[in-house]
Amino acid sequence: MVNIKKIHSLQDIAAAVSCLGISMPQIVAIGSQSSGKSSVLEQIVGREILPRGTNLVTRCPVILHLRRCRDKAESVVFDHVADPVWDFTAVSSIITKRMEEICGLNKGISSRPITAFVNIKDTLEMTLVDLPGLIKVPIGEQPEDIEMQIENMVLGYAAKESSIILALINANADIATNEALKIARKADPQLKRTLGVVTKIDLMDSGTDCMSILLNKSPRLSLGYVGVINKGQQDIAKGVSVREAILRETAYFKESPVYSQIYPNIGSSYLVKRLNEIFYKMAMESIPGIKMAVRNQLNDKAKRLREIGSGSTMKNERSLVMAYHQTVLGIFKHTKSGNGIFVRSSSSFLSGFKEIFKKDGFSASFEGLPSRLNRSSYLFISEAVFYDVVRENIGTMTEIYLEKIDSVVKLLVDEIWSISSTRFGALCKRLNSVVCEHVDKQRDRLVDGIRVYSSIQSSYINVDHPDFDRGRALALILRKAPKSESGILGMFNSREISFADKALEAGLIRELAASYLEIVNKEMRNYVFKAAYHHLCEYMDSKLPGMLSELQIEDSILAECPEITHERTILGRDVEILKNALYTLGTL
């Protein structure tokens, strides 16, 4: 037995969530302009409420929630009209006027629906969707792609698993080329949700019938076919009511020698009963899926609402600046913004910083060393050449570390500019710009410090450094060189050894310089790494709050983005709708 209360609840939910993209049970009518679609729908509704005319009459979806009303007056309640409409003769013109408001006057179409609750005493509960009729050729001012526009709209409704497809088939046309069935096959490949309605049976040529179709022989539909007779133009002109048309249709099928064989499983009354049964079954089966869809969307929208905030907090300048500062500090602590006001889309600074200094990048150069020694007039190893080679390489080393600093600064600036705020976009850009200016200043201070450190390293070559390994060089000298007076061997506290072999001399200087430069490189890497952390990371932690608090920020950029204010309003509305829908679904 049909539970009317449950159907009414589902219809209420469908109307409420129609703008949220949640699929609800519905019967979707598909047919060409010559299929008699409007007439069939009116016979299902039981009242003449749909616009009629030539060419493209239905230009946007019309969603009709049919409800039986036993104890109150019949009415139509539109989503765009404040009061119920009691006069059914006015309904058609109201729909036409609304279509013109939505679609314009040039016969274009729109996917924006018109929704109405039709409260009638002698109807059965279901939801019908009337869609624009399928056409092949644009007429008048219709756009050239009107056929594709309509097909895409129809498929959008028909493809939903919760939709029952009502495919209108003109009995006088070849069913193999029927456009409604073509669309149905695209939306419902196995034709499990498609019910065929064969129209205009009374207009078939004498001696012909459509029994093979009505008996579901070919093409076979899981829900089968139902035959009906439409009101003709003369009936409409004479003002024949829907009730009269159905009585006449019933008499025709009862008396027909062909169609009486399947009576009473034929005609509009049977179609209404059949649709009601199918609709109710699908509606009950859809409830779990609808609950899940509503719950998922509620969770998503509630989460987004929390992300953009309530709008009543974080509005004063100090609070916003502190929230921004916490987001910047997260760069150095692998933490995320905790308030949702400011968000970083990148989080690679710390790992990138360490990776930059892991790579050495320095390789000592001794190019031209032998020729430099050859130009010397000294017989002994020249300490001056050793010092020159070391100092030149320290200069090269310094430039390499300055390049590393540029890489670190770029990484930090990129991370700062990855900070964004959907609510306070202008403020975020201003703060990002200010912070990056200070990063540039800190970079200059850092570079100055590194150059000073480099000068210190170059000013005094400490050959007595405990890590300076001279033993291997000394052994080489004692083993291969003739003894003489002095030179660079003063480093070894010996003034008795000299070399006449310039190649051996160059090799010794190279070995000694490489050993010493290894010490300098280690010390410089350690210094530059710590200096970079001090001037960049620690500065942001200790000095940034005071620096930001001194900013003069215009009120105009403290304002929240209008788009976010609007989004919050929409989200708040949607969350309430979904909460109510979920509560109602819980009672079914």
d(CA 274, CA 180): 19
Tokens 């159905």 found at: 246
Is residue 435 one of the residues assigned to a domain? yes
Q: What's the pLDDT score for residue 271?
A: 95
Q: Are residues 431 and 515 in the same domain?
A: yes
Rounded to an integer, the average pLDDT of 3-18 is: 83
In this structure, are strands 163-170 and 194-199 parallel, antiparallel, or unpaired? parallel
Per-residue pLDDT reduced to its tens digit, 343-369 = 887 777 888 888 888 877 666 666 655
Q: Are residues 477 and 527 in the same domain?
A: yes
In this structure, are strands 126-130 and 62-68 parallel, antiparallel, or unpaired? antiparallel
Mean pLDDT across the chain: 84
Token readout for 181 is 């069935």
* Amino acid identity for residue 324 in this structure: Y
What angle (nearest 5°) sits at the alpha carbon of residue 205, between those of residues 202 and 210? 65
In this structure, are strands 75-78 and 114-120 parallel, antiparallel, or unpaired? antiparallel
* Amino acid identity for residue 260 in this structure: S
Residues in Cβ contact with 94 at an 8 Å cutoff, skipping those fewer than 6 apart: 78, 81, 85
Token readout for 524 is 């410089």
pLDDT > 70 fraction of the chain, expressed in percent and rounded: 87
CB 150 within 8 A of CB 170: no
As for how many domains the chain has, the answer is 2
d(CA 310, CA 302): 11
Q: What's the pLDDT score for residue 181?
A: 95
Q: What's the pLDDT score for residue 17?
A: 84
Final residue before a domain boundary, out of 287, 304, 337: 287
Is residue 327 one of the residues assigned to a domain? yes
Is residue 9 one of the residues assigned to a domain? no
Per-residue pLDDT reduced to its tens digit, 44-67 = 998 889 988 777 788 999 999 998
Q: What's the pLDDT score for residue 248?
A: 93
Is residue 329 one of the residues assigned to a domain? yes
The conformation of residue 536, written as its DSSP 8-state character, comes to I
Q: What's the pLDDT score for residue 426?
A: 85
H-helix segments, 88-145: 91-103
Per-residue pLDDT reduced to its tens digit, 476-523 = 544 555 544 445 545 544 444 444 456 666 777 777 888 888 889 899
Confidence of residue 379 (pLDDT cuts 50, 70, 90): very low
Q: Are residues 381 and 245 in the same domain?
A: no
Q: Are residues 338 and 244 in the same domain?
A: no
Domain hosting 520: range is: 317-553
d(CA 479, CA 496): 14
Q: Are residues 349 and 447 in the same domain?
A: yes
Rounded to an integer, the average pLDDT of 306-331 is: 75
Q: What's the pLDDT score for residue 259?
A: 95
CB 120 within 8 A of CB 45: yes
Tokens 């439409």 found at: 230
pTM of the predicted model as reported, rounded to 2 decimal places: 0.65
Burial class (CB in 10 A: 0-12, 13-18, 19+), 370: middle
Q: Are residues 129 and 262 in the same domain?
A: yes
Choose between 160 and 384: higher pLDDT. Answer: 160
Is residue 40 one of the residues assigned to a domain? yes
For the ranges 62-71, 197-206, 434-443, which has the lowest average pLDDT?
A: 62-71
Per-residue pLDDT reduced to its tens digit, 240-289 = 888 899 999 999 999 999 999 999 999 999 999 999 999 989 988 888 98
Q: Residue 190 maps to which CATH number? A: 3.40.50.300
Is residue 559 one of the residues assigned to a domain? no
d(CA 8, CA 13): 9
Q: What's the pLDDT score for residue 90?
A: 94
Convert 186-202 to b/e letters by CB count within 10 Å (16 or more is b): ebbeebebbbbbbbbbb
Residues in Cβ contact with 315 at an 8 Å cutoff, skipping those fewer than 6 apart: 558, 560
Is residue 140 one of the residues assigned to a domain? yes
Q: Are residues 270 and 328 in the same domain?
A: no
Q: Are residues 265 and 329 in the same domain?
A: no
Q: What's the pLDDT score for residue 514?
A: 83
Q: Are residues 195 and 330 in the same domain?
A: no
d(CA 581, CA 410): 51
For the ranges 39-53, 195-209, 407-421, 535-549, which has the lowest average pLDDT?
A: 535-549
Confidence of residue 556 (pLDDT cuts 50, 70, 90): low
Q: What's the pLDDT score for residue 372?
A: 56
Choose between 503 and 221: higher pLDDT. Answer: 221
Q: Are residues 346 and 240 in the same domain?
A: no
Q: Are residues 274 and 335 in the same domain?
A: no
Q: Are residues 442 and 537 in the same domain?
A: yes
Q: What beta strand segments (E) does 122-162 contain?
A: 126-130
d(CA 407, CA 416): 14
Q: Residue 533 maps to which CATH number? A: 1.20.120.1240
Is residue 568 one of the residues assigned to a domain? no
